[in-house]
Amino acid sequence: MQLHHRHDWKLTPTEAIALQHQLRTEVVSDRPIDLDGVQLVAGVDVSVKNEQSQAAIVVVTFPGFLPVETVLAQRPTPFPYVPGLLSFREGPVLEEAFEKLKSEPDVFLFDGMGIAHPRRIGIASHMGLWLQRPTIGCGKTLLCGRYRDLAEEKGSAAPLIDRKETIGVALRTRTAKNPMFISPGHLADIPTAAELVLRCSPKYRLPEPIRLAHNAAGQFSP
């Protein structure tokens, strides 16, 4: 798959934050996804073991979730764990994995944040600028913002608010389980991002494409 190379990854944390401020102005987070046109969805995840990072991208049909393609990439973890700078830890290995991809997914779901991020450029937004395809951030834990209490039923949602700005939704993808924190990455908006994630979560808390990518990324070769 062709990527739009934006920058090198060898940056200090201070330089990385400055780059985020620069790139955030390019993120498009108010464009509805054409849900009727979605046929292929990719789940994206990275696992780290013994300072080795392994990226997995799993492409499935939508709405059937039949496997179409799985690609893996592995390389030494290049950047320390710093909250808010996940892109710089996972970006290099994701770049390698995306370049192997032969499919052309309509939407990418990331295990990580989109604009629900202190500087409004989580990994789904950041890598969306490289992909120039619709991307959605699907966070398992809250990075920033607040939301009101949710009903226990699947599909319950509440706006995620940070500094008086709506940056996503807390979305219950499975009854009586903790919500996911959904936000547009790039070339998406909040309502259609949340709707697609819900449609991609027929059984588990994790959307099916991300669940498959998570399983694949965690299977390190001996």
H helix runs in 34-140, sequence order? 86-100, 123-131
DSSP letter for each residue of 124-150: HHHHHHHH-S-EEEEESS--S-B----
Residues ≥6 apart with Cβ < 8 Å to 2: none
What type of residue is 147?
A: Y
Residues ≥6 apart with Cβ < 8 Å to 22: none
- Is 34 annotated as belonging to a binding site? no
H helix runs in the chain, sequence order? 13-23, 86-100, 123-131, 190-199, 208-217
- Is 8 annotated as belonging to a binding site? no
Q: In what order do the strands lie in the sheet with 40-49?
A: 67-76, 52-61, 40-49, 107-110, 135-139, 180-186, 165-171, 157-162
Known binding site for Mg(2+): residues? 45, 111
Known binding site: residues? 45, 111
